[in-house]
Amino acid sequence: MSSSGLVLRIRDGSVGYGTRVLWSGLDLDVAPGEFLAVLGPNGVGKTTLLRVALGLYPLRTGTITISGRPPHRGSGQIGYVPQHRATAPLASVLARELVRFGLDGRRWGPGWPSRAARHQVDRALAAVDAEALAGRPVAGLSGGELQRVRVAQALATEPALLLCDEPLASLDAPRREALSALIDRRRHTHGTAVVFVTHDINPILPYVDRVLYLAAAGHRLGPAADVLASKSLSTLHETDVTVDWSAGRIFISGVPDSSRDLQGVR
């Protein structure tokens, strides 16, 4: 594929805060419809990668483009499902209003004509099977329902790229699987590229095309079977790591303490 057809392109990217470099030498191409999982221990810079793509934080070196252009804040090309924090829900906001924020940002008002906006909001809710939630206050939604509405909000502008930061974190197993399947469906129906940060690869394992594994000592990018292998992770972690694949699930053992929260770690 020519570079102009790529949704996300990073060349020789590095990033850091102050004197600390998080990752460097990153070359990353994401094509339309591709599902990329981003894994790695706490604090290696997964969320920072998303912030760079959103135009919220600059690369220290290298280049990044989103659909051929430099990233910029508020781009309708990108939908973002931020890491869920346990904040008090906005009690009176309805699900459809939360999705509408995805169109207008935090601005209410004349950005979108109201009929067109309503149509877009309806489409986004339908994309995550949440039409029935439209009139419900978000404060009363279950964790799984709220996550579906948050994904609808991210899809409201029909973005080329969907960035998800641990969207499954607060969900039980059936809801993790359901949300993963919805996101996968979207890339097939709309060619939306997905960059999905997670500590638990298993719910999305059937869908991922490639994995980017970030570690303190470096990174690796490739098919899940190549990256999530004992040799590959032992090299990245500079210690013996064992990866077992069993019944379509992955179990990782022996990673250093800093990465113990990785799902599947025994």
Ligand X SMILES: Nc1ncnc2c1ncn2[C@@H]1O[C@H](COP(=O)(O)OP(=O)(O)OP(=O)(O)O)[C@@H](O)[C@H]1O
Question: Where along the sequence are the contacts to ligand X (CB under 6 A)?
Answer: 17, 22, 40, 42-48
**Would you say 120 or 259 has its CB closer to ligand X?**
259
**Would you say 22 or 53 has its CB closer to ligand X?**
22
Q: How far is the CB of 215 from ligand X (least distance, A)?
A: 10
Q: How far is the CB of 259 from ligand X (least distance, A)?
A: 9
Q: How far is the CB of 84 from ligand X (least distance, A)?
A: 11
**Would you say 100 or 203 has its CB closer to ligand X?**
203
Q: How far is the CB of 42 from ligand X (least distance, A)?
A: 3
**Would you say 16 or 144 has its CB closer to ligand X?**
16
Residue among 17, 147, 137 at smallest CA distance from 82: 147
Q: How far is the CB of 129 from ligand X (least distance, A)?
A: 28
**Would you say 71 or 186 has its CB closer to ligand X?**
71
Integer Cα distance of 227 and 229 in angstroms: 6
Place of tokens 């990044």: 64
